[in-house]
């Protein structure tokens, strides 16, 4: 009796685990296929200037679009890509496609600045700056059209090497943004020790700023800090008119969020904001 009970218990947990493993294997297959077929999809979310509400650029956000049209978001496969090392190929493809998009906009005589997210492991690759330089060269874009978003945790790894890579990137003319500011193991010394141009206030502070005085105070402090350091401030996750008004009043430069526009598939972004062609 007790033996069979133990067996049932074992098989109960085993099924759960099997399901999780199966899901992971499936996701890894989808990810590998998307990378191999060069079919990772780039979505773009516009960044707006608080003062004139004009679009100054966009953030590049990767997705996997399945044949049935199902869209898989990055939170479902970026951690897996980092664990398996696929992040290097994924990152290169996202950069390549993002720079090709900039070139396509330039062909329409439109300047657009595109910000690409970079994972910690990519920054830890000593060849990363050369790889980026080669993509800029081959697509023929200006380095100043490209921004790279790094997180605080990416800066924590190998201080010397990370700084060298960021210096190499900035000397090409690329802009560096510190993403999700305030959520990692924040150290204000990062702001002095690394060449950074942009500070992105994390969505979690923005969401609470109208409800909680404390969140509002933190955003105020971050904005003052960034302004005094001469950094450009981008607020992410703006979902309401009230968020927009508060952040504008505080002196944030740029903002992005569902209130203004959701991330759009690259072609939709192009049609909506770039192409001058008349729609017949
Ligand atoms: P992130 O870089 O902080 O990007 C902002 C995320 O917030 C995006 O989620 C965006 O769709 C979402 N967002 C924008 N406005 C709003 C809003 O008003 N409300 C809410 N609730 N969300 C908003 P997404 O596209 O799912 O990306 C999630 C994360 O995945 C990104 O966070 C970034 O860390 C990572 N990621 C995305 N693309 C790449 C990539 O190409 N490479 C790497 N290494 N990471 C990427
Ligand atoms: Mg980002
Ligand atoms: Mg962010
Ligand atoms: Mg975020």
Q: pLDDT of 75-92, one tens digit each?
A: 999 999 999 999 999 999
* Nearest CA owner, ligand 1 atom 12: 237
Question: Mean pLDDT over residues 31-39, rounded?
Answer: 98
**What is the model's pLDDT at position 108?**
94
* Nearest CA owner, ligand 1 atom 23: 237
Question: Mean pLDDT over residues 189-215, rounded?
Answer: 92
**What is the model's pLDDT at position 252?**
98
For the CA of 94, the closest atom of ligand 1 is 41
Query: What backbone phi and psi angles, to 5 degrees, belong to 91?
Result: -60, -40
- Compute the distance from residue 61 Cα to the ligand 1 centre, in Å: 6
The number of the ligand nearest the C-alpha atom of 177 reads 2
Query: What backbone phi and psi angles, to 5 degrees, belong to 239?
Result: -110, -15
What pLDDT digit, counting tens, does each position of 147-193 carry? 999 998 888 888 899 999 999 999 999 999 999 998 877 678 888 89
Query: What backbone phi and psi angles, to 5 degrees, belong to 51?
Result: -75, -45
pTM: 0.94
Q: Which of 41, 47, 57, 61 to mutate to test the pocket of ligand 1 (most atoms within 8 A of CB)?
A: 61
**Largest alpha-carbon pair distance within the chain?**
77
Q: Which of 45, 46, 72, 74 to mutate to test the pocket of ligand 1 (most atoms within 8 A of CB)?
A: 74
**What is the model's pLDDT at position 2?**
45
Q: Is the pLDDT of residue 253 over 90?
A: yes
Rounded percentage of the chain residues whose pLDDT exceeds 90? 82
- Residue 201: CA count within 13 A, CB half-sphere: 35
What pLDDT digit, counting tens, does each position of 119-152 carry? 999 999 999 999 999 999 999 999 999 999 999 8
237 lines ligand 1 (CB under 6 A): yes
Sorting pLDDT into bands at 50, 70 and 90, what band is 59? very high
202 lines ligand 1 (CB under 6 A): no
**What is the model's pLDDT at position 226?**
94
ipTM above 0.95, yes or no: yes
78 lines ligand 1 (CB under 6 A): yes
Rounded percentage of the chain residues whose pLDDT exceeds 70? 93
What gap in Å lies between CA 241 and CA 244, rounded to an integer? 5
Contact present, 153 and 123 (Cβ < 8 Å): no
Query: What backbone phi and psi angles, to 5 degrees, belong to 179?
Result: -85, 155
Q: Is the pLDDT of residue 13 over 80?
A: no
**What is the model's pLDDT at position 3?**
47
* Nearest CA owner, ligand 1 atom 13: 237
* Nearest CA owner, ligand 1 atom 30: 74
Close Cβ partners of 110 (under 8 Å, ≥ 6 residues apart): 274
């Amino acid at each position: 009796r007790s033996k069979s009970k133990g067996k049932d218990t074992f098989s109960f947990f085993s099924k759960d685990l099997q399901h999780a493993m199966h899901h992971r294997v499936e996701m890894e297959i989808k990810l590998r296929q998307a990378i191999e077929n060069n079919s990772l999809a780039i979505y773009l979310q516009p960044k707006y200037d608080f003062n004139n509400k004009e679009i100054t650029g966009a953030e590049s956000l990767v997705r996997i679009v399945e044949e049935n049209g199902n869209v898989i978001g990055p939170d479902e496969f970026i951690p897996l890509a980092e664990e398996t090392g696929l992040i290097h190929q994924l990152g290169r493809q996202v950069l390549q496609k993002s720079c090709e998009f900039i070139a396509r906009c330039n062909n329409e005589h439109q300047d657009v600045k595109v910000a690409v997210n970079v994972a910690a492991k990519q920054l830890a690759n000593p060849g990363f700056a050369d790889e980026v330089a080669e993509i800029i060269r081959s697509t023929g874009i200006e380095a100043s059209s490209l921004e790279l978003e790094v997180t605080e945790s990416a800066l924590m790894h190998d201080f010397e090497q990370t700084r060298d890579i960021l210096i190499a990137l900035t000397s090409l003319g690329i802009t560096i943004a510190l993403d999700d500011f305030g959520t990692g193991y924040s150290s204000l010394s990062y702001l002095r020790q690394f060449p950074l141009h942009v500070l992105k206030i994390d969505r979690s502070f923005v969401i609470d700023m109208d409800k909680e005085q404390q969140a509002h105070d933190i955003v105020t402090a971050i904005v003052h800090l960034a302004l005094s350091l001469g950094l450009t401030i981008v607020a992410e996750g703006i979902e309401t008119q009230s968020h927009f008004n508060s952040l504008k009043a505080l002196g944030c430069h740029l903002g992005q969020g569902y209130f203004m526009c959701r991330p759009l598939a690259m072609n939709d972004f192009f049609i909506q904001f770039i192409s001058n062609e008349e729609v017949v």
